[in-house]
């Protein structure tokens, strides 16, 4: 189908305007939303991921592709909801209390979004109670926390403890990352996973969600 191919290429080129226009035309022509997702968007993002892995794409190309996919998804989402289709998994992400660094967190958020996850970004300096509220209200499957400072790392444990105290810890997988963070630290504080880079974080989220199915 020509429109599927056009949408695939628009996403690969990171052309959000074109992706939006092609999707609009496809919907008007009666193409099923799931057809566009399965035949254009998922293969396009898989190819983007492959090119990134092979160092053919840098983050800018990756993010632009994600933005193009999002522009198409904005049109498809209401149709999917109306038809009762199940939406993608939700991830809540934030930099922990006391820490204002957000570039690493933003990359992970964008890559998760580009990989099809529904991402709720709580921003920086996020208090434990705010993570708890987000888990309660947004009902995500995954919580991702970032810290760049040795003195803000302990806030990751405080947040996990707050999730336990609120009785919602078992509802979510908790992943942590950031320059001073280690796998050992993740184990010590009871996180479910750790990644040293953004690409690894996406794989980790996928893997943990696959385990829970």
* Residue 168 · residue 197 · CB < 8 Å: no
- Applying CB under 8 A, the span of 15-23, 50-58, 160-168, 203-211 interacting with other proteins comes to 50-58
Residues 184-203 close enough to bind other proteins by CB under 8 A: 185, 197-198
Measured in whole angstroms, how far is the alpha carbon of residue 173 from the centre of its chain?
13
> Token digits for 10?
């628009």
Is the Cβ–Cβ distance between 30 and 79 less than 8 Å?
no
Using the rule CB under 8 A, is 102 a contact of other proteins? yes
125 binding other proteins? (CB under 8 A): yes
**Tokens, residue 174:** 């908790």
Q: Does 64 bind other proteins (CB under 8 A)?
A: yes
Sort 188 into a burial class: Cβ within 10 Å, 0-12 / 13-18 / 19+: exposed
Q: Please report whether residue 60 would count as binding other proteins according to CB under 8 A.
A: yes
Among 123, 136, 165, 183, binds other proteins (CB under 8 A): 123
Binding residues for other proteins, rule: CB under 8 A, are 55-56, 58-61, 63-64, 98-100, 102-103, 106-107, 110, 123, 125, 149-154, 180, 185, 197-198
């Amino acid at each position: 189908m020509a429109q599927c191919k056009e949408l695939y290429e628009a996403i690969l080129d990171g052309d959000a305007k074109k992706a939006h226009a092609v999707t609009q035309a496809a919907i008007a022509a009666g193409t099923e939303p799931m057809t566009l997702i399965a035949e254009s968007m998922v293969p396009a993002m898989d190819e983007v991921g492959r090119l990134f892995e092979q160092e053919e794409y840098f983050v800018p190309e990756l993010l632009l592709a994600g933005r193009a996919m999002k522009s198409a998804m904005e049109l498809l989402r209401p149709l999917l909801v109306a038809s009762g289709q199940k939406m993608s998994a939700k991830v809540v992400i934030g930099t922990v209390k006391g820490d204002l660094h957000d570039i690493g967190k933003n990359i992970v958020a964008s890559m998760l979004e580009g990989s099809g996850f529904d991402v709720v970004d709580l921003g920086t300096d996020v208090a434990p109670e705010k993570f708890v509220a987000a888990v309660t209200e947004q009902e995500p499957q995954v919580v991702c926390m970032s810290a760049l400072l040795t003195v803000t790392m302990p806030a990751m444990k405080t947040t996990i403890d707050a999730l336990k105290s609120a009785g919602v810890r078992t509802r979510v997988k908790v992943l942590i990352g950031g320059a001073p963070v280690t796998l050992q630290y993740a184990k010590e504080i009871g996180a479910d996973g750790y990644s040293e880079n953004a690409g690894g974080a996406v794989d980790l989220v996928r893997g943990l969600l696959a385990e829970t199915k």
